[in-house]
Amino acid sequence: MPPNDLVRLRHMLDAARETVAFAAGKTPQDLKSNRILSLALVKCIEIIGEAATKVTNETRTTYPQIPWADIMGTRHRLIHVYFDVDLERVCDTIALDLPPLIGSLEQMIQAEHK
């Protein structure tokens, strides 16, 4: 794996962990009533997607268990349709998609260190 890909995977992992930590115990209503929290969570998810866009095709092909296209598509949606972010969907992404992503990224990074 190219060294820059490993850096980007770490960025993805750090942002995913932060997102899950920031959102712990929060509901979509909490995000609607706390603009700072909702912006922080959206920004973290954007970072995950932006880092994913910088990972080489070679690495993406080597690790097909990561939903690369979905991650990058989410980033594009949040950035370009910022005026229509569905906070319930953001909560679902955090609760359902990020924990398995964190596990996969941890395994990938660990495998690269062996």
What's the domain range around 97? 3-112
DSSP 84: G
Q: Give 20-31 pLDDT, tens digit per residue.
A: 999 999 999 999
Contact (CB, 8 A) for 108 and 51: no
Structure tokens at 85: 């972010």
What Rg value do the Cα atoms of the chain yield, rounded?
14
Token reading at 47: 């970072």
Query: How do residues 48-72 score in pLDDT, each as one tens digit?
Result: 999 999 999 999 999 999 999 999 9
Q: How many domains does the chain have?
A: 1
Spell out the residues 6+ positions from residue 78 whose beta carbon is closer than 8 angstroms to its own. 42, 45, 46, 49, 85
Residues involved in catalysis: 75, 80
Supply 16's token pair.
């995913």
